[in-house]
Structure 1
Amino acid sequence: YSGAIAFSQMFDIPGLFNISFNMSIWVIVWLIGIIGGIYAIFGGLKAVAVSDTLNGLALIIGGAMIPFFALKYLGDGSILDGVSKITTTHYDKLNAWGAATDPVPWTTIFTGIMIVNFFYWATNQAIIQRALGAKSLAEGQKGILIAGVFLLTLPFMLNLPGLVSFHIFGSSLNNIDLAYPTLVREVLPKPLLGFFTACLFGAILSTFNSFLNSAATLFCYDFYKPIFKKNISDDDLIRVAKISGTVIAIVSMLIAPMLQSGSDGLFLLLKRFAGFFNIPIIALVAVGFLNKTINGLAARITVIAHVTLYFSLVWIFKINLNFVHVMGGLFVFDILLMVILGSFMKREVPYELPKENKSHVDLSNWKYAFPVSYILMLGLAYVYTILSKVGLAGGNSLTIINVVYFILGAGGIFIIMKSTSSIKNNVNENDQVSLEKNNI
Structure 2
Amino acid sequence: MDPGPFGVYDWIAMAGYLAAILGVGFWATLRDKTSEDYFLANRSVGWVALGLSLFATNMSGSTLVGLVGGAYQMGVAVYNYEWTAVVALTILIAFFLPAYRRLGITTAPEFLERRFDARTRRGFSVLALVGNVLIDMAGTLYAGAVVLRVVFPGLSLEACVGLLALLAGGYAVAGGLRAAVYTDVIQGGLLLLGTAIVSGAAYRAVGGWGEVQAATAPAMRRLIHPAGSEVVPWPGLFTGLLLLGVYYWCINQVMVQRTLAARSLGEARWGALLAGGLKLPVLFLLVMPGLFAAVLYPDLGNPDLVFPRLTVDLLPGGLRGLVLVGFIAAVMSSVDSVLNAASALLTMDFYAALRPEASEARLVAVGRTVAATVLLLGALIAPQIDQFASLWTYLQSALSYLTPPIVAVFLGGLFVRQVHRYAAFYTLVGGSGIALLLVVLQPPLHFLYVAALLFMASLLLMGGTTWAVPCPTYHVPDAALWRRSDGRLGGLVFGGVAVLLAAVAGLVAVFW
Superposition TM-score, scaled by structure 2 size: 0.67
Tell me if structure 1 keeps the 8 A contact 2:311–2:324: no
> Of 172, 179, 188, which aligns to 2:306?
179
The one-letter code sitting in structure 1 at the alignment partner of 2:305 is: L
| 1:281 lines up with 2:409 in the alignment | no
Structure 2 counterpart SS, 1:247: helix
**Displacement after TM superposition at 1:230 (Å):** 3.0
Q: Is structure 2 residue 488 aligned with structure 1 residue 325?
A: no
1:335-350 to 2 correspondences below 5 Å: 335-343=459-467, 344-346=469-471, 348-350=473-475
3-state SS of 1:350 partner: coil
Q: Which residue of 2 aligns with 1:34?
A: 166
Residue 386 of structure 1: CA displacement? Answer: 1.4
Question: Taking structure 1 as reference, are residues 102 and 125 closer, same or farther at Cα in structure 2, changes over 3 Å only?
Answer: same
1:230 aligns with 2:338: no
Matched AA of 1:60: L
Cα deviation for residue 387 of structure 1 reads 1.4
- Aligned residue for 1:260? 386
Q: Is the 8 A contact 2:311 2:323 kept in 1?
A: no
Partner of 1:43: 175
| Aligned mates of 1:249, 1:304 — CA distance in 2 | 26
Q: Does 1:3 align with 2:144?
A: yes
Cα distance change, pair 33–366 in 1 and its aligned pair in 2 (3 A): farther
Partner of 2:187: 55
Quote how far apart the aligned CAs of 1:290 are.
2.6
Superposed, which structure 2 residues align to 1:36-435 within 5 Å? 36-75=168-207, 82-90=208-216, 92=218, 93-99=220-226, 100-170=228-298, 172-226=299-353, 228-263=354-389, 265-292=390-417, 294-313=419-438, 315-343=439-467, 344-346=469-471, 348-354=473-479, 365=489, 367-388=491-512
345-354 or 146-155, larger mean C-alpha shift: 345-354
The separation in 2 between residues aligned to 1:37 and 1:297, in whole angstroms, is 38
CA offset digits 1:191-222 (Å, max 9, x no partner): 20111122111111001111111111111122
Change (3 A) 1:347 1:33: farther
Query: Is this contact kept in 2: 1:96–1:384, CA < 8 A?
Result: yes
TM-superposed deviation, 1:324? 0.9
Q: Which digits, 9 at most, give the CA deviation of each residue in 1:36-61, with x for residues without a partner?
A: 21211111101100111110011001
Residues 277, 337 of structure 1: alpha-carbon distance in 2 compared, 3 angstrom cutoff: same
- Distance (Å, rounded) in 1 between the aligned partners of 2:374 and 2:286: 29
Q: 1:366 to 1:138 in 2, by over 3 A?
A: farther
Structure 2 alignment gaps of length 5 or more: 1-141, 481-486
**Superposition deviation, residue 175 in structure 1:** 1.3
Residues 1:347 and 1:157: Cα distance change in structure 2 (over 3 Å): farther
Greater gyration radius: 1
The higher relative CO (CA closer than 8 Å, separation ≥ 6) is in 2
Aligned alpha-carbon RMSD (Å): 2.0
Equivalents in 2 of 1:365, 1:380: separation in Å?
20
Which segment drifts farther, 251-260 or 334-343? 334-343
Task: Percent identity, please.
Answer: 27
Inter-CA distance 46–345: structure 2 relative to 1 (3 Å threshold)? farther
1-structure distance, mates of 2:367, 2:444: 43
Alpha carbons of 1:72 and 1:375: their partners in 2 closer, same or farther (altered >3 Å)? same
Are the equivalent residues in 2 in contact too, given 1:292–1:352 (CA < 8 A)? Answer: no
> In 1, distance between residues paired with 2:189 and 2:472?
47
CA distance in 2, matches of 1:345, 1:225: 31
SS at match of 2:478: coil
1:115-153 deviation line (CA, Å, top 9, x unaligned): 111112211212221112111222111110110011111
Alignment partners' CA distance in 2, 1:222 and 1:281: 16
Q: Secondary structure at the match of 2:230?
A: coil
Q: Distance in 1 between the 2:403 and 2:242 partners?
A: 11
Segment of structure 1 superposing worse, 217-226 or 40-49: 217-226
Deviation for aligned residue 1:345:
5.0
Give distance in 2, aligned partners of 1:179 and 1:57: 22
Q: How many residues align?
A: 362
SS of equivalent to 2:318:
helix
Question: Is the 1:111–1:329 Cα contact (8 Å) retained in structure 2?
Answer: no
- Deviation of 1:252 (Å): 0.6
